[in-house]
Structure 1
Amino acid sequence: MNLKRNFRNGLLPVFLFFLIPGMQSYAQDNPKTLTNSSLKGFVIESGEQKPLEYATVSIYSLPDSVLVKGTITNRKGEFELIGLMSSSYFYKLEYLGFESYSSEPVLLKENENLFLSNPLILHANTQNLSEVEVNGNRDFSRVELDKTVYNVSKSPVSDGGTINEVLATIPKLNVTASGGIELRGSSDVKILIDGKLSGLLGMSPGDVLSNMPAADVDRVEVITSPSAKYDASGSAGIVNIIMKKERAKGFNGNVSATIGTINKHSGRTALSFRTGKLNFSGSYSYQNDWSGRDYSVMRFTEIEDNIEMLNVNADIDFGNRSHISQVGMDYLINEKNTFSLSLTNRNVKQNSNGDYKYSRNLATSSASPNETLRESAVDIDLDSWVYNASFIHMFAKKGQELSIDASYTNNDAENYGNYIESGSMTNDFYDSDREEAIVQLDYKQPIGESASIETGYLFRTNEINYKEPIDISTAFNYKESIQGLYFLFGGKNDHFGYQLGLRSEYSDINTNENYKEDYLDFFPSIHLSYQLSDNKQLLLTYSKMIYRPDSRMVNPFQNLQDPENQRLGTKDLGAYYTHMPELTFVYKRDKITYTTNLYYLYKDNIINQFRWVKDDVAIVTFENLGSKHYAGIDFNMETKLNEWWSVNSYLSGIYQKFTSSSEVSFPTNDDFGFFAKLTSIMRIPKWFTFQSTFRYETEMPVAQGSYDPCFHADFAFGKRIMKGKASLSLYIYDVLNSNKFNVNTSGDRFKQRMKYKFENRVANFTFRYYFGKKYNVLKSKTHSNGVQHSEKDI
């Protein structure tokens, strides 16, 4: 197995680096300390007396002014600091754009639960950005009951990179060279933007996010065990990308321009005008990139008593041009009712021009290989419109609210392919229309002082039509409809937090190719947390999810780009289910936070890509293969070495086992691998911010083979200039030119090795200019729905 080899290659010292400090820190803690007092309160802003969400609350001991612990306010501006010793303290409130507040001394007695009945008021800092430089920074990550939140807005990658590039800096995530997003090594992950999928429809998430600037991202939520509130579709978890919400009154905005290596350039502007009652926003971005995407294939196929050797070398130029426009309006009808509208248009044109060289010969033949040349030109034109409307009603009772969200998406994509081989030309064309409508209702009802119930309803319909005007026999239609109901009950009792949920979903899928499936399922979720002491927390979670076949998996037709390596859908796929228990331990010290996760995923009747050879042609289809066992342990250490340098180190050990079904037979394949990531951020005062990310992944198994080990490093530099009105950033992807993607597969009568080589060592330089005044107002609400099926290609 690879376990011994990986340890010999130097991972054992890394493993001990994570494990030993945590054991030492645990041993140093005093379990006899009594920490049974607490402090509660709520924070509002002075202007409109609105609650402030995400305000930082820190409490310090007296007389030494040592930081004891901290937290942030919730949507209602409430905070709670628990597990405090009986002693004297003072607390401090901080929020971007507001003047900080420090309290008078507070004396907590043993077993005292002090509640500050009067609201704590923060006053807006009305100074212009050119006159003030904000140096405060939120912690990079925090663990909550049902998710881990990563604050990425201050990263230099965020200022000049794309969303895909900032996701690559998050410990549990990996972004492949082709733009695919993985969570703990699995690509079966659901991607949401502000809790919604509507902005990602019609394209793969990697294509969409690689065209969106990371400067718009506030934070990223990684949900490894989703609650019943979320759409149950998925398999590995959820990545929810929370966009920045402009809170400043008046006219504000920014413009930016980026240039990069090998003919890459982009530009963007974002504007907002807010009166507090009626607020408008808009943005426009343009991107034009060219890059190389080459690959090679070496395949050995048994033919009677001989072996045929096939070599394929492809040299591909890939162009991507996009225009993305968005306008939105918020109308605060009164302090209890808010109505919002938005419209987004995305126009993307992609060109893929490739030269393919095929070389065939028999192992026992001394003759020269038979060579074939093929030219391919594929153009894709996609136009997408997304319409969103939402309404929020706040009842008289504090915390009681009703929200309604509705969205409609229309995507039209045209694919033109022209191919020249041996002097003859062939072509293909298809036009796909995709429409989706989503309606979601959510209601929340507080119970007592520390508990609440939530319930809601979701309706989603998704229809895709592939039209082929030349040959009507290849027309393909796909329709999916889902209805869901959920119920959540959660709260907190002293050191114990809980959230129990149940979701029911009915789904119906059918195509014009005699495929019809419907499912009625129930999905429980359990989230429990226990505060062991002031700096130790234990969490236990469980959830169940479903993975339904999508249109790509059941579409039996294909284009002709590479006839030696074809991809086809399968008509008789069934859904599969995933069970996801997880145990988490969080230990915080003065400058170090340790997080350990022990998790297990069981998937039965999994849908997976499966390669086989027919008439000397490799064909990849989607099949229900059998079962998959996926177990792992994560070690994450977030360290603040000093005021200007922080390091986040992550190590994950993963065991995977694939077993075949009676319909699709292949040898059982299992192995153990490691995934490690190190992110360092240096904020050098009056100079610049430097971020470096290093990632290493050992050989990982797939059903029919394995992926090769890979390693790469990314650098980013950022600096504010012009008294804070502008910024410069430089992002360098794959500094060592080492990031490659190789996959080895084998099956009945064949062995194959495929090497992918994407353009590496890419550099982008960005200038961004900010204008306007900053003043905080109401923050909008987000909701959850939607799913994206994805899987690493073989």
Structure 2
Amino acid sequence: MKSTAIQSIAIILFFLGLSSSSYAQNNGRINGRLKDARTLESLQSATVVVLDKKTNAVLKEALSDTNGAFTLDNLPDGLLLFKVGYVGYKTFVKDSLIISAGNRTINLGDIKMNASESSMLKEVAITATGSNEQIGITKKKFLVEQSLVSKGGTATDLLQNIPTIIVDGGGKVNLRGSANVHVLIDGKPSLIAGGDITQILQSLPASSIESIEVITNPSAKYDAEGDSGIINIILKKNKRLGFNGSVNGSAGTRGNYNGGLNLSFENSKVNVYTNYDFQRSDTWSNGRQVIQFLNPEGPVVYSDETFPSVTINKIHNVKAGVDYFINPKTQLSFSGGFNSNRLNKDETLSINQSAADHSVIQTINSKNLTDSKGTTYNLNIDFVKTFNKPKEELTVSIGYAHGTGNSVQSFDSNTRNIGANQPDELVTGVLRPLSDNSNSYYNIQTDYVLPIGTGNLDVGYRSQIRTDNRNQLVYNLNNTTGNYDEYYTLSNLFYSKDQIHALYVNYQNQINNFSYQIGLRGEDAILKGNVKGYDTTAVPYTLPVKVINTRLYPSVTLIQKLGGDQQLQFNYARRVTRPSPRNYSPIPDISDPVNYDVGNPNILPQDIHAFEFGYSRNWSKVNLTSSLYYRITNDFIQHLETGPVNGIITTISENIPHAYTGGLEIIGRFRFIKGWDFTLNTNLYENKTDAAPVYGIAKSSGFSWNVNLTNNFLITKNISLQLRGDYQAANVIAQDSNHAIYGIDAGTKISILKNKAFITINGRDILNTRKWSFTRTSNDVLLDFERRTIRARASVSLTYNFGKDIFKAKKIEHSTEHQEN
């Protein structure tokens, strides 16, 4: 027994001696911080690697944290090679670093990373695949070049593949359990399709997008719009020294195809660029809706509808711009864009209306045709001035956009009455709605950053003015005369002018490992307009609309950096969601003869208080970000179903006193095996809404969750594979109980012609499982709805890059420090 104890102690002492000896030889450290060379913003989730200079073996690997900081511990003595790889940036290399007994710690300080001269960064040789994500607690940036499953698709397909974002079957974007997210294009609202977000996203080819930013709790510097945050879609702006370009094309099933051309030229004084994209999408949709009238006016108790449709959309996008470098610290930019779209929709609507015993009383068969077209253009001037004092900067931006659109619709219906208590007769009706819309947008913004001590003071001003003219004239076929008479009850003219004027101040500083940011934004928002229409007796009326919303929006961010490459963060921000044109425009959508959709001119904006507590930690092969969030929403906007009037129910926007959302979001990026990395995102949340008895809404609550998983495989040096799946569980919001939705996408990319060209083959929703469905309940109506939308199931894309650098950048003087493409 004693002998065994002595042997055990000897063994322990032996291994302690080995570990002590090992520690003496492996206690070197390299640390530093990564920043964007132009904006000085911290770069998170960059791959930092140390290799043995002689053998080129990887000794240590890590990811930078949310402040761009990194630490590589337990390094052996010897001659080392240091590399940083980050998608969209040149690889940073520092060689001949020496760890020795007299030099155990090397602090590289701030490493300024320069943007890559090509949109495709070469894979860092010592990593499996390059990351296309910059994930922080409140701000996440996704570089979309490596999203293989969305190639050949639209911005809608691309957003579907972004962690934290869910796109339902109707094309509506959801972020953290809310559809009230503010979507911007290059930092500004878009007027494509009159500002309808769903149509905007379907009008942008994925190939025209450079990156997507998701900001869940923006500071006072950003617009206060959007209760769950901001999604900013950044379009490509090709920028390489000399003359360069790329051409791409894609062909998919069901007659879907698109193509594009990107050209740019840059020297030391000017950068000129232009992009053109064309897209033809052929969308098949099949839906069903069953309505039960709980308090029927007559014998009809059930209405069973099916509405298959085919939509063909042809879209042209052009973007061009010039950056003029007046001097090394001053830049003046001019840019503009043009969008043209033409949509043709053919829908067949079949309705069976039946009694309580489900016997059919009436059938309606309608052929709904839509032919619409629209154009939008925008012009922008941007000025940037930096100063000798580091981080001091002045920016001025002026923008103007204008859009027009018109549509001709035809709803030809045949109604047949059936039953013993009424004659069997056929009634033909034809409605012809004609719509003519125009809108304009004006924007002026200035921002100034002033370093004060160790902190920064940001101040700025922004004015946004938007005007809308939405006119609808409806004509009804007179079966007696054969002429079309104006249907006054459904004809409306609506004009509105929406102004938002804002001032903000923001201060940020850092004390040791604690940093803070405090901001205040004041917005004066005024919506004025008028509605011109006719009452049921064809007497004209004018209804004024006026909504004034003047508020202060404070924001607070507190960050405590902990040891072990981890940090805690707290955020608070007051936000607002202002009504969209669909919410407040009184012009009805009458394409469904038994269910009209109309806006509410008296709708109020939502007032939101958003709280978030986050924790993040980086290991050598794992990057973890988690957030607990809670939102209180006053005057919650919800689409409600009213009781039937003359057999027609109406969907209208109304305010519910309060709604609450709380949840936990976790995003993890894992790289355990060379050649394979995956990103896993899950979001668990609960929605609660107050009762609104006047609308027949009881107090409700519902728990839900969603998860998505994206796998990236590097099969060979020139072949990569991506496999993605997502699942959105059922959830409850006010009247709506949304059903679960899930799907799987896959794609592969093959590099050819010495990495100058790429072939991408992908399939979206390959199991054909994604469909949008929900149940809506009120005191008067029970509605079951489902729709499945099918675009290209599979597509093949080709991208070819051409050109070369004819102007060479100045080399770094220090031979041991360089950056390479």
Q: Specify which of 618, 622, 641 is matched with residue 649 of structure 2.
A: 618
Change beyond 3 A, Cα 1:61–1:152: same
Amino acid at match of 2:750: K
- 1:145/1:527 contact within 8 Å kept: no
Give 1:636-785 correspondences, 5 Å limit: 636-661=667-692, 663-686=694-717, 688-759=719-790, 762-773=793-804
Moved more, 89-98 or 168-177: 89-98
Q: Distance in 1 between matches of 2:381 and 2:549?
A: 29
The answer to whether structure 1 residue 387 and structure 2 residue 379 are counterparts is: yes
Alpha-carbon distance, 1:73 to partner: 12
Q: Distance in 2 between matches of 1:529 and 1:197?
A: 31
Give 1:583-622 correspondences, 5 Å limit: 583-615=613-645, 616-622=647-653
The alignment partner of 2:684 has SS state of strand
Q: Distance in 2 between matches of 1:751 and 1:51?
A: 55
- 2:186/2:235 contact within 8 Å kept: yes
Alpha-carbon distance, 1:186 to partner: 1.5
Alpha-carbon distance, 1:648 to partner: 1.3
Give 1:258-407 correspondences, 5 Å limit: 258-301=250-293, 302-303=295-296, 308-364=301-357, 366=359, 368-407=360-399
TM-score of the pair, normalised by structure 1:
0.85
Change beyond 3 A, Cα 1:459–1:605: same
Change beyond 3 A, Cα 1:98–1:612: closer
The alignment partner of 2:659 has SS state of strand
- Segments of 5+ residues of structure 1 without an aligned counterpart are 1-32, 779-794
Alpha-carbon distance, 1:205 to partner: 2.7
Give 1:196-211 correspondences, 5 Å limit: 196-198=188-190, 202-211=194-203
What's 1:220 paired with?
212
Q: Specify which of 499, 507, 527 is matched with residue 509 of structure 1.
A: 527
Q: Distance in 1 between matches of 2:685 and 2:744?
A: 22
The alignment partner of 2:583 has SS state of helix
Q: Specify which of 48, 73, 76 is matched with residue 58 of structure 1.
A: 48
Q: Distance in 2 between matches of 1:111 and 1:719?
A: 44
Alpha-carbon distance, 1:98 to partner: 5.0
- 1:160/1:730 contact within 8 Å kept: no
Which one has the largest radius of gyration? 2
Alpha-carbon distance, 1:72 to partner: 9.2
- 1:85/1:110 contact within 8 Å kept: no
- 2:181/2:229 contact within 8 Å kept: yes
Q: Distance in 2 between matches of 1:334 and 1:73?
A: 32
Alpha-carbon distance, 1:163 to partner: 2.5
- 1:198/1:407 contact within 8 Å kept: no
Q: Distance in 2 between matches of 1:555 and 1:351?
A: 23
Superimposed CA distance per residue, residues 354-378 of structure 1 (whole angstroms, 9 cap, x where no aligned partner) = 1111111112475x44212111111
Q: Distance in 2 between matches of 1:694 and 1:685?
A: 23
- 1:35/1:534 contact within 8 Å kept: no
The answer to whether structure 1 residue 494 and structure 2 residue 484 are counterparts is: no
Change beyond 3 A, Cα 1:707–1:736: same
- 1:124/1:776 contact within 8 Å kept: no
Alpha-carbon distance, 1:35 to partner: 12
Alpha-carbon distance, 1:282 to partner: 0.7
- 1:90/1:106 contact within 8 Å kept: no
The answer to whether structure 1 residue 574 and structure 2 residue 574 are counterparts is: no
What's 1:436 paired with?
441
What's 1:563 paired with?
593
The alignment partner of 2:83 has SS state of strand
Q: Distance in 2 between matches of 1:41 and 1:363?
A: 69
Q: Specify which of 567, 582, 590 is matched with residue 552 of structure 1.
A: 582
Amino acid at match of 1:441: T
Q: Distance in 1 between matches of 2:335 and 2:642?
A: 46
- Segments of 5+ residues of structure 2 without an aligned counterpart are 1-25, 415-427, 475-485, 531-542, 811-821
Alpha-carbon distance, 1:661 to partner: 3.6
Alpha-carbon distance, 1:463 to partner: 0.5
Moved more, 327-336 or 640-649: 640-649
Q: Distance in 1 between matches of 2:214 and 2:48?
A: 25
The alignment partner of 1:210 has SS state of helix
Change beyond 3 A, Cα 1:691–1:81: closer
What's 1:28 paired with?
none
What's 1:482 paired with?
500
Alpha-carbon distance, 1:626 to partner: 2.1
What's 2:559 paired with?
529
What's 2:16 paired with?
none
What's 1:463 paired with?
467
Q: Distance in 2 between matches of 1:776 and 1:202?
A: 44
Amino acid at match of 1:476: F
What's 2:233 paired with?
241
Q: Distance in 2 between matches of 1:217 and 1:291?
A: 22
- 2:190/2:200 contact within 8 Å kept: no
Moved more, 300-309 or 658-667: 300-309
Q: How many residues are treated as equivalent by the alignment? A: 734
The alignment partner of 1:613 has SS state of coil
Q: Distance in 2 between matches of 1:705 and 1:52?
A: 42
Moved more, 195-204 or 512-521: 195-204
Q: Distance in 2 between matches of 1:62 and 1:581?
A: 46
Q: Distance in 1 between matches of 2:703 and 2:436?
A: 43
- 2:302/2:358 contact within 8 Å kept: no
Alpha-carbon distance, 1:735 to partner: 0.6
The alignment partner of 1:537 has SS state of strand
Superimposed CA distance per residue, residues 464-494 of structure 1 (whole angstroms, 9 cap, x where no aligned partner) = 0113467696110011001001111113333
The alignment partner of 2:301 has SS state of strand
Give 1:12-23 correspondences, 5 Å limit: none
What's 2:421 paired with?
none
Q: Identity over the aligned pairs, expressed in percent?
A: 23
The answer to whether structure 1 residue 169 and structure 2 residue 187 are counterparts is: no
Alpha-carbon distance, 1:425 to partner: 2.2
Q: Distance in 2 between matches of 1:776 and 1:628?
A: 57
